Structures are given as structure tokens and as C-alpha cells.
A and B are shown apart, each in its own frame.
Chain A
Amino acid sequence: MAELLAICFKAHEAFPLAGLAAKLGKSFDLLLLTGAVPQGHGAERIFTAELQEIPPADGIGSPLATFSKPYRYIVAASSMQSKDVLGRLAGLLDASMITDVISVDSATQFKRPILAGAVIAVVEVLEFPVVITARTAGFAAPESQPDSPVEAISVAVATMSRLVSRNARSGSRPDLTQARVVVTGGRPLKNSATFESVIGGLADALGGAVGATRAAVDSGIAPNELQVGQTGKIVAPDLYIAAGVSGSTQHMAGIKDSKLIVAINKDPEAPIFEVADLGLVADLFDALPELQKKLTP
């Protein structure tokens, strides 16, 4: 019987969560809340809840708690949604919880960033079960495994808060937290039309996602859900291009796991140059269109 339950809000989360289970040396079951069944991760069993959409945390919390009871580790990929739901789940199970795990030291010890990533803490679990949200960038998918048996389960969602409306910004761009390339813009982009054409234009040329600094979001240049940093999205692309971004600690907390950080800023003293792998001191309104033109396939 598996000791670990990986709860997937999205199918692709199965792979890094399988990587985490492997680091712990634990076999695992997978609970897929919505979407098409992923295979090849090596779960002992896959349970599918087959939800059309994921209900509010106070509705999904109690059936999840009932389902999770037999497990010692209950794990999900870090996101706003998983923090919302798993925090409730941990409360219902009277469990311990560790948010944003970046590495596994032992079966009871985990590393996680605190203080906007300025410090890493080693946290020890004193009581099981433990509920964990994990930063997926820290965990590689295992080698391809044989298919796992699939079993549909029914989830009796409790009614508490009622979803009145959902405003998901859809588009053709990849998800910020999953993208291979992220192009981020700061306040120098001036307005949302300029932001979209300059930052969005380069992102589209590279097949990447668009991010924004808190300053850009606060000044209405970019929508909230594009914010990258401590209180926004944590990204880990192969290529992160920051244009007109000064590089605050809070912003850096969200991009540290990127493989290659490129900074373009006309201020040679901008702190972002202290951490960027590649820096270009230039006006982004010249450099980005030129980059876009030269990189458009």
C-alpha cells in the first residue's frame, strides 16, 4: 500500500511529484482531479475524480480529507490553488504542512525557502500525516515507467462557498509556471498596449509566456496573474528574459530557478545585473523589437 498520495490539479504535475516520491523512496498513488490521465510516472494506482472544474476549497476539502486519510504524505505541486485547497485539507486532517518544498533531505526533513527566498530553512516533520506543496522545478520526472491501473472515484463535493463567476484569461500562450521561455516586463513599458506589443511580441516570437513585475501590475500595465515574484508566480524556465526590470529581492525570489537569466535594462546599475547570467545595457524599446525581429522563425 502506497504511503504517499500525489494530488494532481493538472495532469502534468504527476511527473515532478513522481520525482519527489522517488527522492523519498516511497511508492505512491495518484489522485487526478481533472483532465486526461497521464501515464508513465510509475504510480501504483491512479484515481480519477473526473471533475469538470475544481470546486472552491471549502467544498472539495472534506471529500479530499476522507480520501487522503490512509496516507502519510499528501503532496501537490505548489500553486495558489493547491495552497488554498491543501491548507484546508491539512486543517481537516489536523496534519502538519510544509509549503513550497524545494528538496528532500530525508523521509522527515525538507528544505524550503523563507523570507522571499533570502534564506533556506530545513524543516523537520514531527507528526504525520504531512501535507506538502512542492515547487516542481526542484524535482525531475523519473525515467518512463509502465502504465498504472486507473480507477474512477466519485467525489461528493460539499456545498459551502458558491462560485459566482470565474474569469480565466485564456490565450494561446503557455502557462507561466510551465513555459520554457518567459519574457517579463517592468514599469518602463508605460501602458498595457505597449506592454503587450513589446513584451508579448517577443514572447510570441519565442513561443514563450509573458510575466510582469509587481510595479508593472500595480500601475495597471499588466494583469495580476502575470506577476512574478514572492507573492506572485514562481517560474523556472530554460530562458528568462527580464526587460526594464530592476530586480528587487521579491522579484528575484520568483525567478531563481530559471536556467538562464537575461537582463535588458538601460540602467547599468540595476540590481538585476548582479544576478543575471547575461546582461545587455540598452533601451528595451530598441533592443526588444530587434531581438524579436532576429529571433522570429
Chain B
Amino acid sequence: MRILVPLKRVVDPYAKVKPLGDGSGLSTQGLKFEINPFDEIAIEESVRLREKLGNTEIIVISIGSPECEEQLRKALAMGADQAILVETTDIFDSPSVADELNAWVLKLEPNLVLMGKQATDDDCNQVGQMLAAKLNWPQATFASKIEVNGSQVLVTRETDTGDEVLQLDLPAVITADLRLNEPRYIALPGIIKARSKPLDCQAPLATPRLRTRILSYCEPPPRIAGQKVDSVDALILAIKARGAL
């Protein structure tokens, strides 16, 4: 079995990111960058699947600047066998990422694409579904449990009202939700040790065709702290005064 795990380098999801003064971009100077947390869960799950199934090859792939090597190295340290950096300075939107990944899937022929449900920077939640559609493969998004049985996979996925179990034939695209697993901690020596694993830099297979672009960034209108009350009775009066009860 071959698993392809696309991963995105994102700004530290716990950092406070602000728009630049002129709204032309985001101020990320001095901030840490990480593997998108949902992609990290996908990497962890692929390693656990290999531990269970044996004979599994895990390839991680990232599209972006040379700095993405840092996140790919960490993925190798977590247990991926091989990394591909599709090196580019071009801007990609979700459909063009799906196009590029589609080309890599046709080339690498994985049985399973396992990736995060969304990136914590753009919060789009699109690429997995788009990729599955382009490949005409089954999809299971928001996965919280994955069981592979031969050429079939059972996925428990979170829904708006609870959860459901889907049975999919491989090959398939699965996107990871928060509760699929807790990724293992990798200390720095582990990352250094993984330096012997292969990391290939490649050019994009397709020129990105942008269907949307971001024109500007701004801060949301602030919510101003309101009033403190000192008792439940005062709270009820204040809620009623604002017409919310």
C-alpha cells in the first residue's frame, strides 16, 4: 500500500497574526511556521496504518517555497519514507493545489491520499474534496477513525449532528479531523536523524490556474468588553435590558 500525504506549511496557529498596515498581506515576521495541524494528524495516521498493516510506503508532498523543507523533514522524522517538495514561488488557490496534487497522484499512483480537512491559515476546507472529484475517487472528509481491510476502508466521520461510518473502495481520498489521533512528539534529534531519508525538490507539474485571488486583508471589527455585573440577579436584569430574554 502506498499513502500520499499532502502537507501545508502554515503560520503557528496559536500566534496572533495581523494584516499589514496597507492590507496587502499578513504580518508573519518573526513567527514560527508549522505543519498544518490537521495534516500532521494525517501523517500520524499514515504511520499508524503502516504499523498495523506492514508493507506500506508513505510519501509526503508539499507545494511551496524552499522553507517547506523544514516541515517535510519533520514529517520524515514522524515516520514518512520519502518527501517531495514541489518548489514554487507562485500563488496557488485550492483548485490549483488540487490540480497539482492530481498530477502527482497520477504519477505516484498511491492507494490512499490522506490529508488534513483544512489548513489553519486559510480555513478553506476544499482541497481534499476537489482532488477526490478530479480523480473520480471516493471521499471521506472529517475522519475520526480509519480501518483498512484489504482494498476497503471503513471511515468514521464527524457530521453536523453526530457521526457516520462510510465504507470506501481504495483508492480513495480521506481528510483528517481533530480527533483522528494525537500526533507523536518529535524531538530535535529525531529530525536530525531523519536527514538521511530522501527529500526531492521538483518543479510543479502544472502551471497554477488561479480561479480566485485575495485582494486585501483587514482586521475584524473588535468586540469591545462590556460590563461586569456582581450577581446573578444583576445579570438577569442586564440580559433583559438588552432584549435577549
B122 touches A114 (CB 8 A): yes
* A: number of interface residues (CB 8 Å): 87
With contacts A61-B133, A97-B126, A119-B17 taken as known, whether A282 is within 8 angstroms of B232 at the C-beta atoms is: yes
CB distance from A63 to the nearest CB of B (A): 13
For the complex, what is the distance from the CA of A259 to the CA of B177, rounded to whole Å?
Answer: 29
B123 touches A115 (CB 8 A): yes
B203 on the interface (CB 8 Å rule)? no
B220: which of A86, A119, A123, A231 is its contact (CB, 8 Å)? A119
B166 on the interface (CB 8 Å rule)? yes
A147 on the interface (CB 8 Å rule)? no
With contacts A115-B17, A160-B168, A282-B232 taken as known, whether A90 is within 8 angstroms of B130 at the C-beta atoms is: yes
| Residues of chain B contacted by A81 (CB below 8 angstroms) | 159-160
User: Which A residues, 89 to 137, have Cβ-Cβ distances below 8 Å to chain B?
Assistant: 89-92, 94-100, 109, 113-127, 130
- The interface stretch among B54-62, B103-111, B236-244 is B236-244
| Residues of chain B contacted by A56 (CB below 8 angstroms) | 138-140, 166
Q: Which of A57, A217, A218, A261 neighbours the largest number of chain B CB atoms within 10 Å of its CB?
A: A57
A155 on the interface (CB 8 Å rule)? no
A145 on the interface (CB 8 Å rule)? no
B188 on the interface (CB 8 Å rule)? no
A58 touches B138 (CB 8 A): yes
| Residues of chain A contacted by B141 (CB below 8 angstroms) | 57, 80, 83-84, 87
With contacts A99-B123, A99-B124, A160-B138 taken as known, whether A169 is within 8 angstroms of B219 at the C-beta atoms is: no
With contacts A88-B139, A169-B161, A224-B179 taken as known, whether A279 is within 8 angstroms of B130 at the C-beta atoms is: no
| Residues of chain A contacted by B128 (CB below 8 angstroms) | 87
A260 on the interface (CB 8 Å rule)? yes
Q: Which of B141, B234, B236 neighbours the largest number of chain A CB atoms within 10 Å of its CB?
A: B141
B206 on the interface (CB 8 Å rule)? no
| Residues of chain A contacted by B184 (CB below 8 angstroms) | none
B167 on the interface (CB 8 Å rule)? yes
For the complex, what is the distance from the CA of A65 to the CA of B161, rounded to whole Å?
Answer: 25
Scan B134-157; emit 1 where CB is below 8 A from any A CB, else 0.
100111111010000000001100
A294 touches B236 (CB 8 A): yes
Q: Report how many A-B pairs have Cβ atoms within 8 Å.
A: 262
User: Which B residues, 189 to 224, have Cβ-Cβ distances below 8 Å to chain A?
Assistant: 209-220, 223
A123 touches B213 (CB 8 A): yes
User: Which B residues, 1 to 41, have Cβ-Cβ distances below 8 Å to chain A?
Assistant: 11, 13-14, 16-19, 26
B166 touches A163 (CB 8 A): yes
- The interface stretch among B63-71, B81-89, B93-101 is B93-101
CB distance from A228 to the nearest CB of B (A): 13
B130: which of A91, A113, A165, A295 is its contact (CB, 8 Å)? A91
With contacts A87-B130, A126-B211 taken as known, whether A161 is within 8 angstroms of B140 at the C-beta atoms is: yes
With contacts A123-B213, A160-B168, A256-B220 taken as known, whether A225 is within 8 angstroms of B160 at the C-beta atoms is: yes
A96: which of B19, B95, B134 is its contact (CB, 8 Å)? B95
A157 on the interface (CB 8 Å rule)? no
A161 touches B139 (CB 8 A): yes
For the complex, what is the distance from the CA of A62 to the CA of B97, rounded to whole Å?
Answer: 21
Q: Taking beta carbons and an 8 Å cutoff, which residues of B are in contact with A?
A: 11, 13-14, 16-19, 26, 93-95, 98, 118, 120-126, 128-134, 137-142, 144, 154-155, 158-169, 172, 177-179, 209-220, 223, 225-236, 238-239, 242, 244-245
- In the complex, 14 of the A-B residue pairs with CB atoms within 8 angstroms, ordered by the A residue number, are A81-B160, A83-B125, A87-B128, A97-B94, A115-B123, A161-B155, A164-B164, A225-B160, A231-B178, A249-B16, A260-B242, A287-B232, A287-B235, A291-B232
